[in-house]
Structure 1
Amino acid sequence: MSEEQAQPATRREWFLLITLATIQFTNILDFVIMMPLGPQLMRVFDMNAQQFGLVVSAYTFSAGTTGLLAAFFIDRFDRRRSLLFLYAGFGVGTFLCAIAPSYVFLVAARMTAGAFGGILGATIFAIIGDVIPYSRRGAATGMIMSSFSLATVVGVPTGMYLANRFSWHAPFFLLAANAAFVWAVAFRALPVLRTHLDNASDESPVRVVVSLVASWKYLRAFVFMILLVYAGFSIIPYLAPFLVSNLNMTEAQLPLVYFFGGAATIFTSRLFGRLSDQYGKKRIFAILTLVSLLPQLILTNLTAIPIIPLLVLTTFFMVFISGRGVPAMALVTSMVEPHRRGSFMSLNTSAQQLAAGVASMISGSVLITTSNGQLQRFDWIGWIAALVACACLWMSTKLESLEEISPAPVASHGR
């Protein structure tokens, strides 16, 4: 066992991870809350599947565009300052969502939130790549990605309760207030994170980005993540409308889907991260991808069944769809040198966001909303997603990680 492997995570490292996971929690919740709110938003604004797809895609397309721009300069700044600036902008965008009086205003507000939220996620994972050793990076990635689980098990049911009790505006007001509080804590607690600047080269930002997109090694990583996101996001935005309209689940029962699914993934995300560190990230990714196809295909081809087996099925779906992303992200994060990692992760996140937007728009154009509100051709979406996941599995065998990269220590708490 190497010295790096033998050393456990330090207290400072744990505190940094908890802070980043909390920030990512609000970032993720702002995004995922849109999906279960789908039936209510479609009713309030009289939207069809394509129009709802545009609301979801507005966030992802905006995040993808700003991610491309951020790739040119994100590695030129202290990660702490970048994180705080982006989180503040994200909070403003969330507040605009809360006060949205119309469909057009809501789309614009989602674009604002996405413009900051997408780069925020890239910055968080760049920090993970900078300061966490490769031998613990899978577990650290699993911890950050478990914020998705916490968002679904705590945030979504709470948001749905507020939406059902008051209106769909209420969850976004709570999110904006929570983001303001977390920002204040992060401002006081986060250390300076500029070790990537100590190893920075004299390359211009344009040359760095060009070298990334011109390299087959990195292009394979981008294609890999595009396929992975498409495979999941062609289904996820329309899952709640499908459950309500086609499988006779009530809007009051929807929080149960996210509660049980999120509760399970709280444990499985970190488990899959540890397994990735122990047995290899590519191997665990392959296993999780193949297993995820079973609940995915059953769910998308399903007719109405009792609530209990339906909840079991949706829980397995969420566990393995989110679980395969843990080794995938840990692997991709380890493919680039630290002084380029911010630019790489911005491009990578941008590619993911654009893929999510394209997936949502394509699925929305394939689906047909009947006169009674049911979604037809959801089974088509499931089969297409399965084929894309298989292509993603093949692409994973072409990726090369830099396991020899030694992390920089967490910097001091000086401002």
Structure 2
Amino acid sequence: MRPSPTSATTSPPERRGWANGWVISGFAAGQIAGIPIGTILAAEFGFRTPFLAFAVATLFAFGLVVAFLPAPDVTLATSKLTVRSFLGEYADLLRRREILAATFIFFLMFGGSALYTTFLPTWLSVELLVGAGAIALLFLLGGLSNAVVGPVAGSLSDSLGRKRIILVASVGIALTMAATPFAGLTGGFLAVAGVFVVVMALFASRASSFTTLLTELADGNQRGSLMSLTVGVGQVGTGVGGALAGTAYAATGYPASAVAAGVVMVVITLLIYVYLPATGPGSGRPVPRAEPRSPLDTSGDGRPDLACDALCGPTAEGGYSDGDDD
């Protein structure tokens, strides 16, 4: 039985993966859907149209943020923000082995995804003679798969532990990525569509669990820096992966790019297994409740802000410790 909304605030660790699953699924589904939508708009109305559509979508998102997104009731940093200060913050984070590994994993994740998806539509069009409408439908199905599976996988990470879900999903992604071109050559477009939907579902499973794990590696004072660091490095990975995908496609075609993406995912799986800690209520670690005088205390009575905690929570509350209590 799923906990009620009330229990989501009284026992936030048991809901953190589920909540992040919804957020990550929406983000990822939007990215996936943007590729075919932009392609169709450019083909039908000219290359300027996708840029105008993106501007309209951004203004709509701005309105949603202003109207509906609450500001967390937490104490903000009072020190002056300078290049030196935020570089120092990042340096402090990267001195921790698990955070350095997680940052590099983010780079590989985004790079491997770019290797896989950048020239997939081109390969389908040129090699398998698939039309633009079918390619758009493929990415739509992948986006729907991503959106549906994310919250489910997040809930599983709440009960089984984040690391277990991440490892299983990473192995599945490696196998299905490498199999995509061979599915196309043997089974045609329908086989590719089936594999792609599975890949997108596994993406959601890993992303919701991995993001939740990240929030449990740092406390409230450094959580924002950690998230911005990993996402920023991930975007660099996207650029590098896209460039390598172009080189691979020009030299040997899409199959080499897809297999390379699968190899990257194998490397990610090994890094996760060796360097990332197990967190979450299902990790086997004790999950202590809020202690007096939490750093997120805004109530004056020693209780943390549970509205924030439902997504972020103190490091120890995620079931993670740095090894001092082992």
TM above 0.5, yes or no, is yes
Q: What is the CA distance between 1:206 and its match in structure 2?
A: 4.5
Distance 1:324 1:188 in 2: 31
What is the SS of the residue equivalent to 1:337?
A: coil
Counterpart for residue 54 of structure 2: 175
- Paired residue type of 1:180: L
RMSD: 3.2
User: Offset at 1:405?
Assistant: 8.4
Aligned to 2:254: 378
Could you say what secondary structure the match of 2:148 adopts?
A: helix
Which of 98, 105, 117 is 1:224 aligned to? Answer: 105
Query: Residue in 1 aligned with 2:7?
Result: 7
| Alpha-carbon displacement from aligned partner over 1:340-361 (angstroms, at most 9, x marks no partner) | 1111111111211111111111
Q: 1:388 is matched with which residue: 264, 269, 278?
A: 264
Structure 1 residue identity aligned to 2:241: A
Does 2:211 align with 1:314?
Answer: no
Deviation string for 1:81-120 (max 9, x for gaps)?
xxxxxxxxxxxxxxxxxxxxxxxxxxxxxxxxxxxxxxxx
Q: Aligned partners of 1:405, 1:208: CA distance in 2, in Å?
A: 28
Deviation at 1:362, TM superposition (A): 1.9
**Which residue is equivalent to 1:326?**
208
Q: Partner residue of 2:120?
A: 239
In 1, Cα distance between equivalents of 2:186 and 2:123: 11
Shift of 1:256: 0.8
What TM-score does the superposition give when structure 2 sets the normalisation length?
0.74
Correspondence 1:10-409 to 2 at 5 A = 133-148=12-27, 150-151=29-30, 158-193=37-72, 195-197=74-76, 204-301=85-182, 302-303=184-185, 305-368=187-250, 376-397=252-273, 398-400=275-277, 401=279, 408-409=305-306
Percentage of identical aligned residues: 22
Residues 46-84 of structure 1 deviation map (CA, whole Å, 9 limit, x = unaligned): xxxxxxxxxxxxxxxxxxxxxxxxxxxxxxxxxxxxxxx
**Cα deviation per residue 1:290-320 (whole Å; 9 max; x = unaligned)?**
2223321221334274433332222122222
Deviation at 1:196, TM superposition (A): 4.8
Alignment gaps of 5+ in structure 2: 281-286, 291-303, 309-326
| SS of 1:307 mapped into structure 2 | helix
One-letter code aligned to 2:215: T
Secondary structure at the aligned position of 1:339 is classed as: coil
Which whole-Å CA distance do the structure 1 matches of 2:168 and 2:193 have between them? Answer: 23
Q: Secondary structure at the match of 2:132?
A: coil
- TM-score for both structures, normalised by structure 1: 0.60
Please tell me whether the aligned partners of residues 25 and 208 of structure 2 are also in contact (alpha carbons under 8 angstroms): no
SS in 1 for 2:118: helix
Assess if the C-alpha contact under 8 Å between 1:149 and 1:263 holds in 2.
no
CA distance in 2, matches of 1:244, 1:237: 13
Residues 196 and 338, structure 1, Cα contact 8 Å, conserved in 2: no
Say how many residue pairs are matched: 281
Tell me which stretches of 4 or more aligned residues in structure 1 moved more than 6 Å.
Answer: 3-6, 200-203
**SS of match in other structure, 1:271:** helix
What stretches of structure 1 of length at least 5 have no aligned partner?
11-131, 370-375
Q: CA deviation at 1:268?
A: 0.8
Cα distance change of structure 1 residues 405 and 253 upon mapping to structure 2, 3 Å threshold:
farther
